[in-house]
Amino acid sequence: MSTKLATQDLRKDVPRQRRPWYTVLYTQVVLAIVLGILVGHFFPSTGIALKPLGDSFVALIKMMIAPVIFCTVVQGIGSIGDMKKIGRVGIKALVYFEIVSTFALIAGMLIAHLLQPGKGLNINPATLDPKAISTYVSHVQDVGFVARLQAIIPETFVDAFVHGDVLQVLLIAVLSGFAISRMGELGIRVARMIGVAGKVFFGIIRIIVRAAPIGAFGAMAFTVGRYRVTSLANLAKLIGTFYLTSAFFVVLVLGIIAYLAGFSIFRFIAYIKDELLIVLGTSSSETVLPDMMTKLERLGASRSVVGLVFPTGYSFNTDGTNIYMTLAVIFLAQATNTHLTLGQELGMLLFAMVASKGASGVTGTGFVTLAATLTAVPNIPIQALALLLGIDKFMSECRALTNVVGNGVATIVVSRWEGELDPAKLRVAMKSSHAADEIAGT
């Protein structure tokens, strides 16, 4: 016994070795983004040719999202067996999502009116090519509340995994978890087996994430090479307004929520900086879904709460997408000199509250959702969307970053409401984990 204690004391005295800076994922992603920008700027044709690198990385991550969510949620529900808790967590999460996402929609409208990024452009919609947006408009479907609910139900059990729809996977995972929790001792053993399978899938994710620098390099090189930063001068005010609004929302709105929950929004952003860099490089928040769930569990949130709240937020709490929708609609009205009455704006706001539900973190989805929202404002010609085609890729990065931070905060808040997290321990966990990453890398 004394020998064991002495060994433990000896380990405490041994300083942790710092890994070489070039082996840390955070540094690799930063360098990859910088190199991608340089290649896209100076060699645009090469940057465009590198698009498959970014697409392949996103596809690899998406390939693993459905099984990871399924295993995490099923094991969490199956091992707890408390149906009241699951229902309670779900209701709290949905109430939070609706309130905060509505704040995001209102923030986009207010700052659009305040800064007026589209004023003075005097765009004639008749000069815009409607064919340029035909692909996005053709994807606009019925976004009514009933239609959204029906879309959650997959055609078959396996169909949810085939299409990778987060809400569909979540539905069958919750049903499977409930069924397993009612099987007694056999259910506990089944939940353990699913937990082992989950560890395998997380292991695969960790292998794939090591390729994040390659994916970020290819995605950034393509973005800069294809759309050319110099061509964005006319819409620079809109881009700046959107990034400013998102930063305002994260720091003020989410910052206040985080403060009330007992932690600092800046400390949380530092805690998930590696994941945010991957999102920045790939323009997709889904690429970090498994890693974010792991980090939130490290803070003390239970697997069942993390598994229910964080993935659900990808469809019900897309703060960045909400800001973009209302801001872009008001911008297009200003740019085309289209007058909107207060009633029309309120109607657009109510429509956006429904249309935003179901938007995922994949790049391009926000533009389709915007097209759907624009149908609620017939005064603005639909071809006006062509104005945003060239800059949507740059906007999608900010949308995804805001969505990730918003869903992370939501998960912590709901976990606090469940009494799982102590504020003091939460702050220590964020600080100590951040320090550990500084030494050992991710």
pLDDT for 362 equals 45
Q: Tell me the whole-structure pTM to 2 decimals.
A: 0.76
Cα angle 153-155-160, degrees, rounded to a multiple of 5: 70
Task: Tell me which residue has tokens 């071809």.
Answer: 383
| DSSP-based three-state secondary structure for 15 | coil
Contacts of 162 (CB under 8 A, 6+ apart): none
pLDDT for 440 equals 42
Cα torsion through 307, 308, 314, 319, rounded to 10? -120
Instruction: Average the pLDDT over each of 80-84, 136-140, 157-161 and give the range with the smallest value.
Output: 136-140
pLDDT for 111 equals 92
Provide the 10 A C-beta neighbour count for residue 114. 10
Phi-psi map region of 17: left, alpha, beta (phi>0 left; psi -120 to 50 alpha)? beta
pLDDT for 212 equals 80
- pLDDT-derived band of residue 81, with 50, 70 and 90 as boundaries? low
Q: How far apart are CA 189 and CA 10, in angstroms?
A: 39
Span 178-202, pLDDT tens digits: 888 778 778 778 888 888 888 888 8
Average pLDDT of the residues in 368-378: 71
Q: How far apart are CA 250 and CA 268, in angstroms?
A: 11
Q: Which of 26-40, 116-130, 361-375 has the highest mean pLDDT?
A: 26-40
Provide the 10 A C-beta neighbour count for residue 144. 12
Residue 131 pLDDT > 60, yes or no? Answer: no
Classify residue 356 by its DSSP letter.
T
Residue 233 pLDDT > 50, yes or no? Answer: yes
Residue 262 pLDDT > 50, yes or no? Answer: yes
> By CB neighbour count within 10 A (0-12 exposed, 13-18 middle, 19+ buried), where does 295 fall?
buried
The answer to whether 398 and 242 are in contact (CB under 8 A) is yes
Domains and CATH numbers, the chain: 23-431 (1.10.3860.10)
Classify residue 253 by its DSSP letter.
I
The answer to whether 112 and 335 are in contact (CB under 8 A) is no
Provide the 10 A C-beta neighbour count for residue 255. 18
Q: How far apart are CA 169 and CA 158, in angstroms?
A: 9
266-275 burial: b if 16+ Cβ within 10 Å, else e:
eebbbbbebb
Provide the 10 A C-beta neighbour count for residue 99. 11
pLDDT for 141 equals 52
Residue 441 pLDDT > 60, yes or no? Answer: no
Classify residue 381 by its DSSP letter.
-
pLDDT for 162 equals 80
Residue 251 pLDDT > 90, yes or no? Answer: yes
- pLDDT-derived band of residue 123, with 50, 70 and 90 as boundaries? confident
CA distances from 68 to 166, 172, 303 (A): 11, 13, 12
> By CB neighbour count within 10 A (0-12 exposed, 13-18 middle, 19+ buried), where does 106 fall?
middle
Among 285, 248, 241, 293, which Cα is nearest to 399's? 285
Average pLDDT of the residues in 59-76: 81
- pLDDT-derived band of residue 368, with 50, 70 and 90 as boundaries? low
Cα angle 218-320-257, degrees, rounded to a multiple of 5: 125
Among 321, 338, 333, 323, which Cα is nearest to 387's? 333
Q: Which of 241-255, 315-329, 361-375, 417-431 has the highest mean pLDDT?
A: 241-255
Span 311-348, pLDDT tens digits: 888 778 888 888 988 898 888 888 888 888 888 888 88
Average pLDDT of the residues in 123-128: 67
Average pLDDT of the residues in 87-108: 89
Average pLDDT of the residues in 12-27: 60
Can you read off the two tokens belonging to residue 73? 């949620």
Residue 209 pLDDT > 90, yes or no? Answer: no
Angle between helices 166-181 and 303-316 (to 10 degrees): 150
Residue 142 pLDDT > 80, yes or no? Answer: no
The answer to whether 371 and 134 are in contact (CB under 8 A) is no
> By CB neighbour count within 10 A (0-12 exposed, 13-18 middle, 19+ buried), where does 20 fall?
exposed
pLDDT for 135 equals 52
- pLDDT-derived band of residue 249, with 50, 70 and 90 as boundaries? very high
Instruction: Average the pLDDT over each of 84-98, 253-267, 375-389 and give the range with the smallest value.
Output: 375-389
Residue scoring higher pLDDT (424 or 147): 424
Cα torsion through 218, 433, 421, 88, rounded to 10? 20
Q: Which of 1-10, 228-237, 278-287 has the highest mean pLDDT?
A: 278-287
pLDDT for 14 equals 41
Average pLDDT of the residues in 55-79: 79
Alpha carbon 437 to chain centroid distance?
Answer: 22
Residue scoring higher pLDDT (384 or 342): 342
Angle between helices 392-417 and 212-227 (to 10 degrees): 140
Instruction: Average the pLDDT over each of 311-320, 350-359, 405-414 and give the range with the smallest value.
Output: 350-359
Average pLDDT of the residues in 257-262: 92
Q: How far apart are CA 69 and CA 184, in angstroms?
A: 23
pLDDT for 7 equals 43
The answer to whether 302 and 380 are in contact (CB under 8 A) is no
Can you read off the two tokens belonging to residue 294? 């792991």
Among 70, 54, 111, 19, which Cα is nearest to 436's? 19
